[in-house]
Structure 1
Amino acid sequence: MANERFASIWDAIEDTPEQAANMRLRSKLMMILGERVKSWNVSQAEAGRRLGLTQPRVNDLLKGRISKFSLDALVNLSTHAHYRIDISVVEEEATPV
């Protein structure tokens, strides 16, 4: 078995480059949102009120349960957390087929 190198863990475990890209974005947003919630130093119930979520959903966010959040949902939560999302698109070198 050859050693393979991957740009991220998502590239290693997801089936397609599209799924890996989606997971990279979701995980980054979840980390940022989790840090914001922690910085508020409030209960999960209060954080939920600020984000428009229930306390159990805040717990899912803080525990990193990525499968429970779509990219769209995380973008929407970002606005409640007073973040503005900008997109940077970078061209990659094409890999030979």
Structure 2
Amino acid sequence: MANERFENIWDAIEADPVERERMKLLSQLMSTLQDHIRQQGWTQSEAAGRLNVTQPRVSDLMRGKIALFSIDAIVGMLAAAGMTVEFKTRKAA
């Protein structure tokens, strides 16, 4: 059996192409927000106040609990952090 290479973890573990793209986008947005929180040096409590969510919600974010978040929720948190989101689309290969 040959080893198969994947560009993204979601390509390897998600069979549904629609769900795979959704998860790729969500994970990218979450990673951006996690990085921003770290770069700002915010505690989880401080991040919660700035993002208008609870500290346990920030904890879930920082632990990468992707199943607990929607794209809408993360976009809202990014906006509350003073960030904007830009989308780029292209035809699938």
- What's the TM-score, normalizing by structure 2? 0.90
Counterpart for residue 25 of structure 2? 25
Is 1:39 aligned with 2:39?
yes
Q: Which runs of 5+ in 1 are unaligned?
A: none
1:61 & 1:42 partners in 2: Cα distance? 13
Rounded Cα–Cα distance in structure 2 between residues aligned with 1:6 and 1:42: 34
CA positional deviation for 1:40: 2.0
Counterpart in the other structure of 1:80: 80
- Provide the residue aligned with 1:14 in structure 2: 14
**Equivalent in the alignment of 1:66:** 66
Q: Please give the secondary structure, in 2, of the residue aligned with 1:88.
A: coil
Partner amino acid for 1:64?
A: G
TM-aligned CA deviation for residue 78 of structure 1: 1.1
Q: Secondary structure at the match of 2:91?
A: coil
* Unmatched tracts of structure 2, length 5 or more: none
1: distance between equivalents of 2:7 and 2:18? Answer: 14
Deviation at 1:2, TM superposition (A): 4.2
Q: Give the aligned CA root-mean-square deviation in angstroms.
A: 1.3
Q: How many residues align?
A: 93
- Mean CA deviation greater in 2-11 or 66-75: 2-11
Larger radius of gyration: 1
Which ranges of 4 or more aligned residues in structure 1 deviate by more than 2 Å?
1-7
Distance in 1 between residues matched to 2:2 and 2:79, nearest whole Å? 44
Q: Distance in 1 between matches of 2:2 and 2:87?
A: 35
Q: Deviations over 1:11-53 (max 9, x none)?
A: 1101201111111111111111011111222321111000011
Instruction: Give the Cα separation in 2 of the matches to 1:42 and 1:27.
Output: 21
